[in-house]
Chains A and B, each alone.
Chain A
């Protein structure tokens, strides 16, 4: 029985970043022996509905989350423990998108702190330096025991040394390390596709892409057994991934369709309120009486 749960998965709902659909990812996860998969797209939760479908098909439980990049350069994975926390995450994304516009999400650390209740945060560190140490302190202050830091292999020089240093920093800051696979595609066969998508994102050709390609390799989904073998020396980080999965009991089925509350005037139905406001405005617009062609348009519209 394996314990590892993959929590850093990017689907193609992260526009021009992830190269695989949620269906592909969940099918691959099923075949590799995963029991749960955390879906965290960049600045969106757009993939969760398809992921939920895939959960029903494959039986691999979906942990619905998101990945946010803050304006100060920090990146976090956010997972809700319950429905209230899910609402906070989606509200946070709405705020970010309201500022950034289409395809952009502008958030600062203060926004994160305002929406941290019941949310599990996984900080994605780059190199073990003072900036990372500061970020870990902030994280612990805001998220407390729900603060985590991702450990992932990049297949670049001094990888293991980097992980040990980061793990040490996390320990010192009182933040739990969690192993992740920073997955960009379900199978290594999708790597060329991912390169092409990066080229499109960077508005260049594949020949001109150079170092703007994904700098870290080995981004396909691994089996839990393989991940546990790779992180033998970080067993606590493997255990942390399972602990997060068991804490995140939010399921998308908890969300039912809710008709939004209609703001009506006291003592009037919605229709009466509309008629009243229209008449009022018409009188204000035409103090000398409404011109002939208009009264026809001002007759009450009937709801079908």
Chain B
């Protein structure tokens, strides 16, 4: 399928163009038929079913011109053609007189669209075929080279050029072919495969550099070329200034892939929120954001939500950790404790927090469990809490 709009006068008109093309194909051994029409659908139909070598159709006469052609000329799938045959529909003209709704029900929407496209009632955009060339770079040298150092230098230049080409086309190479042309006319080829698509120049140079020793320069090499016969799309990667270490780029790649699968919202990192109330001390931040501002105070590895109440607490008031308590049906004996760490309610958030106070204690039990307990209230003023005890967290 060719679009000829505005070009045929260069070849002696439409008739002349078709004759030249047929002669050209004849020389190559092909027997061809050409149709020029106002719509791709009509041209397709006439070229295949008109029985003439050259059909040139004035624009706007498609409906009449294809009327007597078989329905198969309409680029329909085989099962639709079978159905049409069962209904006794043979020629395209047979379809003209059927109600469109009925036609769509019997033969499918596709048939209606194809018919309209052929008659010029619906636009049919032509998707152009763009020729794709393998990324290719080469260097022809003024003087033949023989030493490994110079060859490495030339390869390095070639890789840089190739990387630019790849980047501009959004590609990464999977296979790369290095060709040396020697002054005596012989060529040497090396083919290198990559585990994953890449256009990392330093990586490619390393891979190619390992092959330099195997070159036999003979009297000298006068040209070196690099071709990438196998490429894959490679989207640009963001370089993260915050992340450090050799794997940072891979982490970003991984997080991108994970986010693509589970959703942007489901992937997060835990960061510090500037609040002393443990429930509010963390927030979700972006995966690539570095959390900052963690307070240096020890905090349990695991926070219970909600805090679980303690029973049968034996304690010396007001600022000692409990000596004994029951939690989840077990009785614990405290051997060590630190506290209280006093955390006041954030009175600007809710009225109930105005005077609320929690006294936190880090304790260690006889069996070695380390827990984070708190008591509601400061142990002196009843407005600060009812002196009930809870476990809020478990240290590692």
Contacts and interface: CB of A to CB of B under 8 A. Distances in A.
- Interface SS of A by simple majority: helix
Contact of B381 (A156, A159, A160, A188): A188
A157 B298 contact: yes
A210 B275 contact: yes
A211 B274 contact: yes
B341 A211 contact: no
A161 B338 contact: yes
Interface centre among A155, A158, A206, A230 (most CB of B within 10 A): A155
Summarize B's interface: helix, strand, loop or mixed. Answer: loop
Interface in A187-203: 188, 191-192, 195
Contacts of B340: 155
Interface string A144-160: 00000000000111111
B369 to A, nearest CB: 18
Contacts of B348: 192, 195, 206-207
A217 interface: yes
Contacts of B274: 210-211
B297 to A, nearest CB: 5
Interface in B335-355: 338-344, 347-348, 354-355
A32 to B, nearest CB: 13
Most-contacted residue by chain A among B274, B298, B362 (CB, 10 A):
B274
Interface residues of B, number: 22
B360 to A, nearest CB: 8
Contacts of B293: 211
A138 interface: no
Nearest to B295: A211
Nearest to B319: A230
A158 B275 contact: no
Contacts of B355: 188
A155 B338 contact: no
A67 to B, nearest CB: 23
B341 A157 contact: yes
A82 interface: no
A157 B295 CA distance: 11
Interface in B367-383: 378, 381
A137 interface: no
Given A207-B348, A210-B275, A155 B381 contact: no
A160 B336 CA distance: 13
Contact of B297 (A157, A188, A191, A217): A157
A230 B319 CA distance: 9
Given A206-B348, A210-B274, A211-B293, A155 B298 contact: no
A136 to B, nearest CB: 23
Contacts of B297: 156-157
Contacts of B338: 157-161
A188 B382 CA distance: 13
A191 B341 contact: no
A217 B295 contact: no
A192 B354 contact: yes
A156 B341 contact: yes
Interface in B233-286: 274-275
A161 to B, nearest CB: 7
A281 B99 CA distance: 117
A251 interface: no
A291 B340 CA distance: 81
A218 interface: yes
Contacts of B354: 192
Contacts of A230: 319
Contacts of B319: 230
A155 B362 contact: no
Interface string A285-303: 0000000000000000000
A192 B275 contact: no
B104 to A, nearest CB: 62
Contacts of B381: 188
Quick one: which of A157, A192, A195, A218 has the most chain B CB within 10 A? A157
A156 B296 CA distance: 11
Contacts of A217: 342-344
A290 to B, nearest CB: 68
A13 to B, nearest CB: 25
Nearest to A209: B274
A19 to B, nearest CB: 14
A192 B306 CA distance: 26
A206 B349 CA distance: 10
Interface in B73-108: none
A188 B378 CA distance: 11
A235 B62 CA distance: 111
A156 to B, nearest CB: 6
A191 B384 CA distance: 13
A210 B271 CA distance: 14
A218 B319 CA distance: 12
Contacts of B339: 157, 159
Contacts of B275: 210
A34 B381 CA distance: 20
Interface in B280-333: 293, 295, 297-298, 319
B292 to A, nearest CB: 11
A211 B347 CA distance: 15
Interface in A12-53: none
A192 B355 CA distance: 9
Nearest to A161: B338
A217 B340 CA distance: 11
B258 to A, nearest CB: 31
A188 B338 CA distance: 23
Given A210-B274, A230-B319, 5 more contacts: A155-B340, A157-B297, A157-B298, A159-B339, A206-B348
Interface of B: 274-275, 293, 295, 297-298, 319, 338-344, 347-348, 354-355, 359, 362, 378, 381
Interface of A: 155-161, 188, 191-192, 195, 206-207, 210-211, 217-218, 230
17 contacts: A155-B340, A156-B341, A157-B297, A157-B339, A157-B362, A159-B338, A160-B338, A188-B355, A188-B378, A192-B348, A195-B348, A206-B348, A207-B348, A211-B295, A217-B342, A217-B343, A230-B319
- A-B pairs with lowest CB-CB distance, top 3: A210-B274, A155-B342, A217-B342
